[in-house]
Structure 1
Amino acid sequence: MSEDEKLLKEAKKLPWEDRLTHKNWKVRNDANIDLATVCDSITDAKDPRIREFGPYFKKTVADSNAPVQEKALDALISYLKAADADAGRYAKEVCDAVVAKCLTGRPKTVEKSQTAFMLWVELEAVEAFLVEPQL
């Protein structure tokens, strides 16, 4: 077993937050893939994991590693497809992170960002996109 394989195997034992913010990009990448898989398996929008996972996306979509960032967007999209309007509580901070870090990235990253925005709108989290006028 290679060092990378050992690292990934050991990392799977860590809590989600530790895996998603790990110093090794391969661990973060693997964690986002696993998170997307778990979110794809959620069939009930009231599943407690929806509330657990929501706060993670602010950090994951702002990852400095482009491939990890794309996997984080994949996980976010899977999450939003499983969630209901209650997930809108995370919309503002996650959308701010997407705007700050993802819209100037690779074309695929921009496309995934737009998909995530549309899913937020479908969840009626439109307040994340409204800017209050400065008086």
Structure 2
Amino acid sequence: MYASKISKIAAAGAGSLLLLGAGSGIAVGENQDEAVQRAKAVCDEGTLCVWDGPDFTGNVNEFTQCPDGPLPFTDFADGRAGSWLNTQYEPGEAVFFGPDPANPEGPWIEKYRSPVNEAISEGEAFDLTGVDNC
């Protein structure tokens, strides 16, 4: 749906990390792999981590427990996800939600599914405001 707004940086075989993004917010002298390693230093194995800024910057929410439905992001200036790293264990798919463009004040709708071992460095275009990590 939003694939045209992000570019595929690297994808390899089983057990590797899928990294998507344009890389505009990466620290000076830092490449995409280094940005993911920096994110992994914050995000423990088996966790879904969501940052409010691109390239794993800004405030972070860590999700390890199964919620009763989607949870909103906390301490995010605009309430929206900017980037995320999914290091959950199989099946570990995280379901992201956001406002319905046809009914912005109504209930959230499903907008994106993040598989295990995925890193999205530029997620703002998805307009995501909450997640169910289980």
The structure carrying a bigger helix percent of its residues is 1
Relative contact order higher in (CA < 8 Å, ≥ 6 apart): 2
The structure carrying a bigger strand percent of its residues is 2
Q: TM-score, normalised by structure 1?
A: 0.25
Q: TM-score, normalised by structure 2?
A: 0.25
Rg bigger for which structure? 1
